[in-house]
């Protein structure tokens, strides 16, 4: 295995990015127009990168499998975007954002990248305001902030519950300006099916026109992958159904290392599954935890009565409710990090306190917030002795102004009014922490091949803090990659256009066509979804939140068997030279079946408990109790750095906590 060189600059962490930019090689404006760059994916990371690179003068080709960049999955991000501007005057700073991110990620992040992320975060907000992003504002007209999990300050900028959509429209408008100038060639409804290497460098891609089925060759001096995460390896996730690993996996098979593939964000605030017929899960924004209180009944009799319809949650008094996050983590309460909230919800439900028919749900209750806001508004409006109904009316209006579209979405899906009945939520697969390994320049182990946004591994460690996904995507695209890519491209100003009529392009195109021909001509009897669902069940049951050695070894064997059956029995209707969604899915699921085994292999090598995962003793292994999570000084067991033997962990954190020694803890990369 090659030795990985992160290329992190020397010197104090707070000076690394500034010093680096001062000494980096650049491409002058006249030479930028001689250089071509391919960007695969046009969500927030890819869209901002394409727009910025084109604005600088590079010739950009941007590829989206959707019919428009506006359809990228970034629009699904609801709650907000972090930035260390300290508008609230509550003690925020670049260092505190850095600290929270590293601690929240269980010290598995690359600290130099995270400090840079915190540094440029404030610039993102200014950029987006200039683009017209309609962030929420306070009474005085200043940008408003709210708090998210894992922090003690309010640093999250938001646009109601539509932040991702509004930010994406900002990036899309910047892209459109460059498309109109001819600096971006936009390829909608195109999917990258392979990367092409020439003399060891990434020099182009093979893409399929998803409308006509035509296979196309596209060359460039550098290729940027910005294709998002791979949560759909679990089949059921909060990701859009089209979200996939294929671009990342193709470059992995051409030599780009993968890092931490088994780290997955488990989001605590999702609508519980309702049956086997579902194809995806629905996310409710983490911002709801600012005002919603999470609880389950204290008594098992009440749990059974609620499940059987003999009681409503509103029938239970405060004394009959267990606000378990407030009880366990008084400093953070309902705003603990996502991994802590997710594991705590699973622990309560596994103990039998789940409140829906499947036993997999806890309550998220807004009654107290409605009362609090109602009384406050009554005072503001000078209403003396307001009635209970008036307090409720005033409070509901405030909650509706903050979260209205989220409540509306919940009611449409569950058919219950969340203003009157507490929401039900349960953890679900969301963001992926692992991804393609990149160095400080965001370059993979293949020269000229970059990876940005969720598709890379670097910034979030084992668990991402809420509202940091949008921050990383836009930081990479607007402010980091445009600098670092110039250092590489400065050697290409005399290279000229990369030809596509070469043996390397011939070979890559042949591989792509052979695979497509196999899918179309295979005489199998089972659908693509049949295999995807089977993979997802193995992944969730044995490679999900709770894992042990026995289960992981079983998972690897089962995934291998599913993959072998897939190649014999998969059936893909339709033809190759037409629009064929089943053909698209077949290629993506084939990649998931390979990733799944690597995912389980990575989990097997890690005996630690961290992020959204805790490592149990196998049933046949010796332990405190069979099946119980390990608890010792090396593993922060059930909830890693946030809880130690059931208590808050601030007193027993790593000694490196305040030193941040650029430790890349056991980042395992496989060829």
Active site amino acids: 338
Q: Can you read off the two tokens belonging to residue 557?
A: 């064997």
Q: Pairing relation of β-strands 222-225 and 435-436?
A: unpaired
d(CA 267, CA 612): 9
Q: Can you read off the two tokens belonging to residue 248?
A: 């990342």
Torsion of CA 325, 328, 331, 334, to 10 degrees: 0
d(CA 393, CA 371): 9
E-assigned strand segments in 349-448: 362-365, 423-432, 435-436
For residue 652, give the DSSP letter. G
Which positions ≥6 away from 614 have C-beta within 8 Å? 343, 545, 546, 547, 629, 637, 638, 639
d(CA 107, CA 594): 28
CA angle 378, 383, 385 (to 5 degrees): 95
d(CA 606, CA 565): 29
H or E element at residue 638: none
SS3 content of the chain, % helix, strand, coil (to 5): 45, 15, 40
Please count the other Cβ atoms lying within 10 Å of the Cβ belonging to residue 279.
10
CA of residue 94 relative to chain centroid, distance: 22
CA distances for 574 relative to 244, 521, 586, angstroms: 21, 10, 12
d(CA 192, CA 195): 8
Q: List 644's β-bridge partners, or say none.
A: 647
Burial classification of residue 67, based on how many CB atoms lie within 10 Å of its CB (0-12 exposed, 13-18 middle, 19 or more buried): exposed
Q: Can you read off the two tokens belonging to residue 502?
A: 């070469």
């Amino acid at each position: 295995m090659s030795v990985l060189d992160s290329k992190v600059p020397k010197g104090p962490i707070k000076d690394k990015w500034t010093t680096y930019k001062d000494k980096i090689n650049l491409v002058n404006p006249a030479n930028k127009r001689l250089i071509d760059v391919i960007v695969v994916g046009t969500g927030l990371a890819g869209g901002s990168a394409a727009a910025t690179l084109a604005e600088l003068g590079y010739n950009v080709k941007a590829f989206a499998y959707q019919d428009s960049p506006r359809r990228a999955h970034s629009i699904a991000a609801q709650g907000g975007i972090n930035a260390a501007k300290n508008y609230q005057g509550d003690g925020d700073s670049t260092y505190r954002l850095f600290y929270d991110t590293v601690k929240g990620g269980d010290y598995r992040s690359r600290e130099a990248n995270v400090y840079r992320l915190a540094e440029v975060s404030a610039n993102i907000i200014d950029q987006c305001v200039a683009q017209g992003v309609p962030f929420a504002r306070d009474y005085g007209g200043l940008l408003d902030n709210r708090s998210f999990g894992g922090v003690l300050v309010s640093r999250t900028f938001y646009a109601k519950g539509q932040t991702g959509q509004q930010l994406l429209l900002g990036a899309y408008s910047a892209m459109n300006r460059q498309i109109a100038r001819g600096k971006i060639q936009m390829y909608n409804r195109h999917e990258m099916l392979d990367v092409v290497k020439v003399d060891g460098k990434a020099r182009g891609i093979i893409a399929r026109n998803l409308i006509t089925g035509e296979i196309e060759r596209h060359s460039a001096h550098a290729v940027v992958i910005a294709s998002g995460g791979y949560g759909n390896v679990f089949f059921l996730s909060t990701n859009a159904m089209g979200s996939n690993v294929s671009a990342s996996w193709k470059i992995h098979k051409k030599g780009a290392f993968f890092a931490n593939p088994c780290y997955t964000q488990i989001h605590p605030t999702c609508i519980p599954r309702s049956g086997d017929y579902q194809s995806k899960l629905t996310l409710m924004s983490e911002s709801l935890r600012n005002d919603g209180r999470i609880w389950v009944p204290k008594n098992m009799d009440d749990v059974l009565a609620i499940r059987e319809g003999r009681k409503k949650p509103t029938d239970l008094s405060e004394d009959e409710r267990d606000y378990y996050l407030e009880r366990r983590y008084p400093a953070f309460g309902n705003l603990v990090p996502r991994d802590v909230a997710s594991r705590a919800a699973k622990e309560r439900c596994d103990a039998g306190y789940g409140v829906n028919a499947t036993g997999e749900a806890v309550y998220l209750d807004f009654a107290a917030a409605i009362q609090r806001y109602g009384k406050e508004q009554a005072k503001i409006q000078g209403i003396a002795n307001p009635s209970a109904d008036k307090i409720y009316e005033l409070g509901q209006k405030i909650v509706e102004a903050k979260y209205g579209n989220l409540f509306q979405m919940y009611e449409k899906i569950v058919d219950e009014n969340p203003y009157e009945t507490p929401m039900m939520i349960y953890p679900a697969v969301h963001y992926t922490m692992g991804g393609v390994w990149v160095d400080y320049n965001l370059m993979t182990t293949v020269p000229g091949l970059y990876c940005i946004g969720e598709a890379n591994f670097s910034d979030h460690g084992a668990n991402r803090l809420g509202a940091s996904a949008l921050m990383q995507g836009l930081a990479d695209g607007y402010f980091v990659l445009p600098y670092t890519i110039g250092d590489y491209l400065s050697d290409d100003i005399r290279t000229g256009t990369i030809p596509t009529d070469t043996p390397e392009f011939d070979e890559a195109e042949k591989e792509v066509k052979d695979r497509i021909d196999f899918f179309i001509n295979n005489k199998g009897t089972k659908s693509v979804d049949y295999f995807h669902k089977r993979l997802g069940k193995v992944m969730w049951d044995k490679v999900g939140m709770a894992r042990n050695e026995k289960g992981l070894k079983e998972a690897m064997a089962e995934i291998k068997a599913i993959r072998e059956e897939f190649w014999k029995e998969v059936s893909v209707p339709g033809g190759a030279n037409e629009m064929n969604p089943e053909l698209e899915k077949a290629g993506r699921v084939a990649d998931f079946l390979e990733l799944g085994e690597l995912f389980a292999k990575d989990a097997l090598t890690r005996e630690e408990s961290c992020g959204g995962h805790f490592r149990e003793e196998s049933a046949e292994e010796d332990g405190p109790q069979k099946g119980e999570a390990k608890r010792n000084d090396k593993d922060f067991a059930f909830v890693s750095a946030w809880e130690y033997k059931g208590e808050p962990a601030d007193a027993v954190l790593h000694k490196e906590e305040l030193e941040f020694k650029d430790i890349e803890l056991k980042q395992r990369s496989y060829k």
